[in-house]
Amino acid sequence: MPFGHPKRPSKTLDAQELWDFALKALGQRALSSGELREKLRRKATNADDVAGVLARLKEYGYLNDTRMADSFATNRRESRGFGKMRVLRDLQQRRVAPGLAREAVDKAFADADETVMVEDYLARKYRATDLGKYLQDDKKLASVFRRLRTAGFSSGTSVRVLKRYAKQAEELESLEDSPSD
């Protein structure tokens, strides 16, 4: 006999219950149409009800992918300090249409200086560390470079900023050519 509670089958919802569920979900956090569609599909008694609920939400202005993508991109840049590629990847994971995601990211980063963003990111993430000493270790240098790439910064800008701290320019140049681009 397995441990824990047996998994109960989830209750399916009719059109009105789907509407209520959608409003509650949107009240908890902003969702893209694609994200909400998936949530509703899993709950719907009748799959045809999903399109109607989504259309009604859009009509009332409760579901707006453009507004959600713009807000998300701006927030990720300003609050989290992420780079362009990370924000784009996150929007795509949230099922925002690729063209719309690109537009939102381009708008959010229109006046951004990536070099300043990388410097700010390093200052925040390594505030208690002497980066000049820390980055003398090749493994730590590579780790910081990967962290910058994961945060969405371009390899060229990451390398340029890291060169200010690390004397091993050759290693940075080889990291720049790595297939993680």
Burial class (CB in 10 A: 0-12, 13-18, 19+), 116: exposed
pLDDT of residue 178 exceeding 80: no
Please provide the average confidence, as pLDDT, over all residues in the chain.
89
Burial class (CB in 10 A: 0-12, 13-18, 19+), 134: middle
Please give the pLDDT value at position 180: 47
Cα separation of 82 and 95, whole Å? 19
Q: How far is CA 70 from the centre of its chain?
A: 12
Half-sphere exposure of 1 (CA within 13 A, CB side): 3
0.85 exceeded by the pTM? Answer: no
Please give the pLDDT value at position 173: 57
Query: Is 164 or 96 the better-scoring residue by pLDDT?
Result: 96
Cα separation of 172 and 32, whole Å? 38
Query: Is 25 or 178 the better-scoring residue by pLDDT?
Result: 25
Give tens-digit pLDDT for 78-122.
Answer: 999 999 999 999 999 999 999 999 999 999 999 999 999 999 999
Going by pLDDT thresholds of 50, 70 and 90, the confidence category of residue 181 is very low
Cα separation of 98 and 108, whole Å? 15
Please give the pLDDT value at position 175: 56
Query: Is 165 or 43 the better-scoring residue by pLDDT?
Result: 43
Other C-beta atoms lying within 10 Å of the C-beta of residue 131: 19
Positions of E strands within 49-178: none
Q: Which residues contact 52 (CB under 8 A, 6 or more apart)?
A: 15
